[in-house]
Chain A
């Protein structure tokens, strides 16, 4: 199954990726950000906030954005 995954953590990227069918959002998050806590991220599917047990569908647009990002003066 193919979805558009937009990861705004780290360097940030947006790409179409293959995932297994009927994958819940929580499992997808655990796979992509194994060290992250879901509550620290804004997780949207097709631009809408979703529950962790929502099942991803073919062509979904999944966006993961950290709720808090540390700014810093460029040295």
Chain B
């Protein structure tokens, strides 16, 4: 076992050191130098044409070549400025083989499973199984991509891969409250982690990254842990905890309590989309309790229908009946007038007040 460790750690150290040397060469050979050197022939040619036009007195050509020299000189000046900035930037100090070896040993002692992924060119370390707020998120592999460090690409330095993924209900790429699509939102750790990576302090990088993974910041997660196993409402898209999520048996989808209600008639629960709206009272009602007015055919809930009639049709029918009654009474009273002119009779009022009493003369 110790022999295996003795060969494995130096091998990993060698790979890391090779990458650090490459990074050192990158910083020691800025791109601005060849760009500057490439401009020298261009400015020489433009200057030669300018001199020739001056000597021969070609005024138009002289003005044209003067502008060419000016443009070339401006580009040369810009390239020279970039080179000065690049040369003034201190390349990061390359840690010694011993420093890297000690770092790898420290990582191995703390996490116990350091490895070097040659394909990804990354130093990889596994965490212990992580549980936050009683939610088991499993183990994670932290991958420090040395090529990205060499290219100074901070966005891809560190990747975190879930080894026992337990993603949130909303998005399967969110495997930790602070990890989305293998990227960690470092928050407070960004500064110290980047400093440690630039200085080649790999043990510190992994300890800082692990500290982020072991901590839950309720203020800014990709997905809050209290709705980790929650469901997305099919209507409004809100994520609700299981206790506040409802299943509609009609459309077989989950909804939040805001988008889930019941029929006003039979109280059967359903999502808002599966409930119809009563055209009379505007209340939500299930299909079973939605009926049609036998007179006008409008949809209405059972509470709004009376004798299979909607309120407006019911009123209309009542008025027609009253008018029929009035006509009948009139015919009857005319017949009575011939026999007994002062006879008092009861007449239902047109406004549906059946106790109204009028004399025969007033009716006539």
Contacts and interface: CB of A to CB of B under 8 A. Distances in A.
B237 to A, nearest CB: 19
Contacts of A71: 177-178, 184-189, 212, 215, 217, 220
Interface stretch (B24-32, B76-84, B193-201): B193-201
Contact of B215 (A11, A12, A63, A69): A69
A65 B187 contact: no
A47 B203 contact: yes
B106 interface: yes
B169 interface: no
Contacts, number: 84
B44 to A, nearest CB: 48
Contact of A8 (B196, B220, B222): B196
A40 to B, nearest CB: 10
Interface residues of B, number: 32
B102 interface: yes
Interface residues of A, number: 22
Give the secondary structure class of B's interface.
Answer: helix
Nearest to B186: A71
B207 interface: yes
Interface in A1-47: 6-14, 42, 47
Interface of A: 6-14, 42, 47, 63, 65-74
Interface of B: 102, 105-106, 177-178, 184-189, 191-196, 199, 201, 203-204, 207-208, 211-212, 214-215, 217, 219-222
Shortest 8 CB-CB contacts between residues of A and residues of B: A12-B192, A72-B187, A71-B178, A70-B217, A72-B220, A68-B215, A12-B195, A11-B191
